[in-house]
Structure 1
């Protein structure tokens, strides 16, 4: 080596030593130049220092923090400098004197960008999640809060799907719950709850929360005074309550009482929404829990109070949904809620200007009224029908119509007069629109058919109105419905459209069914349906379609499938109602038709023993129908004398007029008498001989229109008998109101002209005065016939339950269900 090269080398060493001395020189704070460069983000300077000496990369400050350049860059938020230091190989494991590293510093500063960078590089020396979760458990409030805030930000939104598995892997859930149970600040606890809520959508996280005593921890925090903490704890409970398998544990830990206490004590709307939704989930999980909620003494008073105190839409939506859930299919809860003023609250909300609140309130009214006469009466007394009808007629949205119509039909319940009232309120045209509603609106189809069937029955029926509105064709279309209860309702409605009181045929509707191919569909159902009730109801409706109509009877007879053997077989069904209706179908075909009676006889005929169980039954419904059937079929019952069969049937019908306390049965029995009084000679005289005139006259004065109307129509047919005419004239002479009732109800039915002429003669020569104070109103129909003044023997299907077959359901919430008897308690 030359002397010059040696001198140069020595000179470079001296310069390096001087430069190193300058780099290592510390200021009064114990910081070197690289520390200042890293802290202020002078990346080039940092690169030069590291290039000059690699040990500068990990050169710590000589102060109480003992910070490396990387820690200083991270702590001051110098992202590019920190990134360059990492690229240069800075130690990511280094912790300062406070045991804080790059992750903890970034969390303290709330530097989300820095944390995301470390997550992206996923360096083995920098396990971000384990260090963050460990930092969350810090006993220093500031550290716990900053770490919790950072994890909360990372797991929001899409971060939940991205990182929930990583957090579970580092056992984050029990650690977070440990934080909530600790003495750390409420803010730190809030962030721990918030992290859990960010992740709670994942089933695995819910499972971990429950395993780590998350339910107990959350319930304890419901006693806190901190509103934020109260909100997150109630929200976590709501999420867990939405999973049915956790409800048992929630209830066992006292969640119901704790949540109801929030209803009582908390004024925060957001917290109340979460508590309300949680209680809804619990009540929906099991019937026992629903009853537990309802039987908690503070429940309904607190719930009704919330309705009156708050106007928040979200809260009102939650409250109405909770009320619906708690009272649904639970009579005790329905009564408890209604008695505390719940019905009033829901009715007020049904009048709300907000459509969503209206619909939720109407759903609540539906659940409150369903299958409960007591709550139905309360809602009706408070004019709960009016807002439902107004919204129904104002809205053309199918979902709204379903909601309103279902509630109205639930309010009608099993009471015949209420059903007519609801059907009249809805109107014939709208009911027909229900029939034409597009799928999947089975509820509207059901209510439409039921409503038209109700309106088509009785002394003042709407058969003509329905005929003019073309209501027959959509009913015929419903015969093809796959839903059994809809098919049955359509069959029964068609039957009521074909015949009125006394089996008076409605020729127009019969021909409409014929032209709409309804006869073919009914024959097909009678022969091929797998359901016995559908078969026998179809047969009965075919018989009513054929009453007094040769064209329809010809169409039926020409059908290759039709044969009376199908009906005769049903006389031996295991189902008593099917047997009864089969007899009714044969009676309808035989009614004033000797030719069909002969065909039935030739097909095998009927035997008296088929009717004996019904004639001797304690069930008045069975006795009334069977009595009518044996009178009509007496000619073709070979094992019993015709006169004996007729006498037995007539005597039973008249006895029922005297004995029955059920308006439904009285109306049916009067109708049966009206039918047989214009079948053949001798029957009117037999009715008169056993006191039928007196009983029918008495029934004309009862309040129920169906009973008084049917009795008047039966007397109209009896008036063609000379003896009956004399008796009626005498009674009407004593009480002219009877004559007015007769004329009122028989306007579209037959009554003897001779009787009318004779009465006018009596009136001309003078009649005794009428004491108006002791007489019933001529027209019993009221503006609200279902609220006041109804006697204890109203025609309800509930009355039939005590003595007869199970009726069809009063509400169409589940279109799959169907019952065995139509709403009119009769086979016609």
Structure 2
């Protein structure tokens, strides 16, 4: 047994290496000293170390049972742990780890081995640590903790920062990536100077090292963004983009930049102002078109340009739109590319009018619209819908065109999805379609859009923005321009439980904004519908006191909308005005801050409110309240530069024009008709339409009718515009129509071609008015004696009269009367002076 072979090994050594278990036991029984005998070569290995080197777990266990020393080392200072690492015996290492013998501290020995100056040893140890910490391993959690507790993180940082060859560092960095999800590991990494060390490695010429370091920084930037930026990561990452073209390297680099930009405007600016950054980004996209790379790039664009106008403009300035469109077209079957690219378009367009116009001009809107209609995946529909809505911006006309492009049917389908963003987009889209002079309120009801809207109000999910959007949409579906009610929609809202839910929101809403919006919408749903109004009053929780209290809320908008709610309930309804008065009434001082506000929206709404509520404002003369409100509205028509305000003001005048008889006379007396006509040249459909409808109501005043006729005779194009918006719910007066027919017989100046093209004329409205043109005339229209109304308007403001009430969509200005007080034309002139 003591005899040695040509390799200087004895029989015991051969049996240990070859796994001859019976021989091992017999040799030890014959001579126990053989158990620790060493080979006579340069290794001086014991049978146990030879068994480890063979990788045989069974032999190792046998020798340990026989009493072999587990902490034996050979002449190269390698014990069981080091040999396993060099040989790549991960399972055997796990056996020793689980054995947990204090004579063989596996983790300490591995960490010491990692610091070896020898390339082979450091690389082998790094690979073993990587394999031991693989997330797929059955013991990965325990191994992570053991490595961390034994100082593994500082050791890894030291190794990566050392002068060992670059290719040796890869496995060690992979080990760190395996355990980096832990907050404790990240904290220790940062506290041990890991960020500085790893950022330096981004300058490595070894692409594998750069890729792995970028992966580490990608994980760290979720928590330590500011520190990463502080140590100059951005310019170094930009340098990587300039010098490396390999997509596997670029993807984690882009993701790191994306994380740096996310949610931090200062970091977005830092990235965006790096010279040539966007140029290099776009060039990369032109050179690399594979899906994973494009996902990383578009995600980076998404976060870098989001809510950062300069970055949005800079990206567009280097033809970034082109690469986004190319990504959508090229990867129609890649859901990930589609989602990330659409999100980038959304961020590029949001709150940036110039970007919205540019993207639309480039055809992005058309591309997204096609995607929306072809896709049935909720997530992609959601992202695409959000991008389209961002492209529409805040312009109501653009929003309307966008909603029309999506279509009523699709918008209603969105209401039935599981995506909250789709619910919001749908509600907003239906909202704009139900507003304005060309409202699609009827189409929405017929497509069963009301029921799913109310179902959203009953949802147990806590999304205030969706609740507010739906409440407003129901409001617009109930009443149109000029306070014309849509009875079928109002009844449908009630039948679906909308009135009950709105009452609940008014009483128990989460905050005052929801309460006041619900109150305002209730007023609209009940406008002109006695059955619904009676139902509201029959509910014990309803009281005008609740709305009156909101007139004193802290938030300006709540107070303003509370006034609108009261004005809606009081509109052409003496009994409701009386009830509001009996329950406390309103004071003129409540409106003064809004009437004097620099905000035109506040002034416009308050002006309308004081005219409607003037009869029940006890601390100011009715004539004064009315005069102040009317004068402010006409001034807004003349002075405002905002399409939104001009449309709202014209709508308010349309509403007022069929309340008290003295009101239209007062509007006309201070040139309201002329200012409204000036708006018929607006590029905004909403402005043009609201002004047309207001003029249609003013045509029932004799002076107004003559003024309309004069303007239309002078410029027949204006009559074309009026025709477009006064065919259904808003009729021009018979007197005006007769006067127009006479003017045509006498002869009219031609309409220039460029102006004709601006009017979208329906098939039943000829380009040139024929002698038999009766557009805007309804055989059931009740004729009003305008001379009588004009005569009444000259009386004292305290003289009572019987006036026509609100007209609905079936008739024009019916003569059902209520008692009101008028504002005389002379009073208005006096107030103006």
What TM-score bracket applies, with the shorter chain setting the length?
A: 0.7 to 0.9
Q: Give the 3 Å change call, closer, same or farther, for CA 37–651 of structure 1 in structure 2.
A: closer
The match for 2:733 is: 752
The match for 1:214 is: 194
What does 1:355-394 align with in structure 2 at a 5 Å threshold?
355-394=335-374
Alpha-carbon offset, residue 54 of structure 1: 3.1
CA RMSD of aligned residues (A): 3.0
Structure 2 CA distance, aligned partners of 1:569 and 1:403?
Answer: 41
The match for 1:557 is: 537
Q: Which deviates further from its counterpart, 324-333 or 114-123? A: 114-123
Decide whether the 8 Å contact of 1:151 with 1:195 is kept in 2: yes
The match for 2:33 is: 55
Decide whether the 8 Å contact of 1:654 with 1:692 is kept in 2: yes
Alpha-carbon offset, residue 461 of structure 1: 0.9
The match for 2:384 is: 404
Structure 1 CA distance, aligned partners of 2:82 and 2:619?
Answer: 102
Say whether residues 1:313 and 2:291 are aligned partners: yes
Alpha-carbon offset, residue 379 of structure 1: 2.1
What does 1:804-819 align with in structure 2 at a 5 Å threshold?
none
Decide whether the 8 Å contact of 2:423 with 2:466 is kept in 1: yes
Decide whether the 8 Å contact of 2:211 with 2:253 is kept in 1: no
The match for 2:320 is: 342
Q: Give the 3 Å change call, closer, same or farther, for CA 42–456 of structure 1 in structure 2.
A: closer
Alpha-carbon offset, residue 420 of structure 1: 1.0
What does 1:735-774 align with in structure 2 at a 5 Å threshold?
735-748=715-728, 749-773=730-754
Decide whether the 8 Å contact of 1:733 with 1:767 is kept in 2: yes
Say whether residues 1:614 and 2:594 are aligned partners: yes
Q: Give the 3 Å change call, closer, same or farther, for CA 700–78 of structure 1 in structure 2.
A: closer
Say whether residues 1:534 and 2:532 are aligned partners: no
Pick from 418, 422, 425: which aligns with 2:405? 425
Alpha-carbon offset, residue 47 of structure 1: 4.4
Pick from 242, 254, 269: which aligns with 1:291? 269
User: CA-to-partner distance for each residue in 1:177-199, whole Å, 9 max, x for gaps?
Assistant: 33333333334322322333333
Structure 2 CA distance, aligned partners of 1:184 and 1:345?
Answer: 41
Decide whether the 8 Å contact of 1:335 with 1:375 is kept in 2: yes
The match for 1:263 is: 241
Q: Give the 3 Å change call, closer, same or farther, for CA 446–31 of structure 1 in structure 2.
A: closer
Structure 1 CA distance, aligned partners of 2:589 and 2:58?
Answer: 102
The match for 1:671 is: 651
Structure 2 CA distance, aligned partners of 1:772 and 1:519?
Answer: 50
Say whether residues 1:131 and 2:109 are aligned partners: yes
Q: Give the 3 Å change call, closer, same or farther, for CA 168–541 of structure 1 in structure 2.
A: closer
Q: Secondary structure at the match of 1:770?
A: coil
Alpha-carbon offset, residue 460 of structure 1: 0.9
Decide whether the 8 Å contact of 1:344 with 1:379 is kept in 2: no
The match for 1:591 is: 571
Give the greater-gyration-radius structure (CA). Answer: 1
User: CA-to-partner distance for each residue in 1:477-509, whole Å, 9 max, x for gaps?
Assistant: 344454333332222222212222211221211
Decide whether the 8 Å contact of 1:587 with 1:633 is kept in 2: yes
Alpha-carbon offset, residue 151 of structure 1: 3.5
Say whether residues 1:547 and 2:527 are aligned partners: yes
Q: Which deviates further from its counterpart, 111-120 or 329-338? A: 111-120
The match for 1:329 is: 307
Pick from 716, 719, 730: which aligns with 2:699? 719
Q: Secondary structure at the match of 1:708?
A: helix
User: CA-to-partner distance for each residue in 1:228-262, whole Å, 9 max, x for gaps?
Assistant: 322332223323333x1x33332222222222222
Say whether residues 1:146 and 2:127 are aligned partners: no
The match for 2:605 is: 625
What does 1:200-239 align with in structure 2 at a 5 Å threshold?
200-239=180-219
Q: Give the 3 Å change call, closer, same or farther, for CA 629–273 of structure 1 in structure 2.
A: same
Alpha-carbon offset, residue 747 of structure 1: 0.6
Say whether residues 1:685 and 2:665 are aligned partners: yes
Decide whether the 8 Å contact of 2:304 with 2:311 is kept in 1: yes
The match for 2:464 is: 484
Q: Give the 3 Å change call, closer, same or farther, for CA 249–530 of structure 1 in structure 2.
A: closer
Q: Give the 3 Å change call, closer, same or farther, for CA 75–620 of structure 1 in structure 2.
A: closer
Alpha-carbon offset, residue 724 of structure 1: 2.6
Structure 2 CA distance, aligned partners of 1:61 and 1:553?
Answer: 104
Alpha-carbon offset, residue 662 of structure 1: 1.7
The match for 2:826 is: none
Alpha-carbon offset, residue 624 of structure 1: 2.4
User: CA-to-partner distance for each residue in 1:683-720, whole Å, 9 max, x for gaps?
Assistant: 33333322222222222122221112122212212222
Q: Give the 3 Å change call, closer, same or farther, for CA 166–597 of structure 1 in structure 2.
A: closer
Decide whether the 8 Å contact of 2:468 with 2:517 is kept in 1: yes
Pick from 393, 417, 427: which aligns with 1:449? 427
Structure 2 CA distance, aligned partners of 1:117 and 1:683?
Answer: 95
The match for 2:554 is: 574
Q: Secondary structure at the match of 1:520?
A: helix
Q: Which deviates further from its counterpart, 395-404 or 61-70? A: 61-70
User: CA-to-partner distance for each residue in 1:621-661, whole Å, 9 max, x for gaps?
Assistant: 23322332333333333444434433333333222222222
Alpha-carbon offset, residue 68 of structure 1: 3.7
Q: Secondary structure at the match of 1:396?
A: coil
Decide whether the 8 Å contact of 2:597 with 2:603 is kept in 1: yes
Structure 1 CA distance, aligned partners of 2:132 and 2:23?
Answer: 33
User: CA-to-partner distance for each residue in 1:735-776, whole Å, 9 max, x for gaps?
Assistant: 221222222210111112232233223212322333334667
Q: Secondary structure at the match of 2:553?
A: coil
The match for 1:182 is: 162
What does 1:153-192 align with in structure 2 at a 5 Å threshold?
153-156=131-134, 157-158=136-137, 159-192=139-172
Structure 2 CA distance, aligned partners of 1:180 and 1:753?
Answer: 90
Alpha-carbon offset, residue 358 of structure 1: 0.6
TM-score (norm 2): 0.83
Pick from 214, 218, 226: which aligns with 1:248? 226
Number of aligned positions between the proteins:
755
Decide whether the 8 Å contact of 1:703 with 1:780 is kept in 2: no
Decide whether the 8 Å contact of 1:145 with 1:188 is kept in 2: yes
User: CA-to-partner distance for each residue in 1:574-627, whole Å, 9 max, x for gaps?
Assistant: 333333333322322232223333333333433433333333333322332233
Structure 2 CA distance, aligned partners of 1:532 and 1:77?
Answer: 74
Decide whether the 8 Å contact of 1:523 with 1:538 is kept in 2: yes
The match for 1:797 is: none
Decide whether the 8 Å contact of 1:263 with 1:272 is kept in 2: yes
**Which structure 1 segments of 5+ residues have no match?**
1-22, 782-828
Structure 1 CA distance, aligned partners of 2:255 and 2:635?
Answer: 57
Decide whether the 8 Å contact of 1:615 with 1:622 is kept in 2: yes
Structure 2 CA distance, aligned partners of 1:281 and 1:390?
Answer: 31
Q: Give the 3 Å change call, closer, same or farther, for CA 779–134 of structure 1 in structure 2.
A: same
The match for 2:785 is: none
Decide whether the 8 Å contact of 2:43 with 2:74 is kept in 1: yes
The match for 2:257 is: 279
**Which structure 2 segments of 5+ residues have no match?**
763-833
Decide whether the 8 Å contact of 1:480 with 1:487 is kept in 2: no
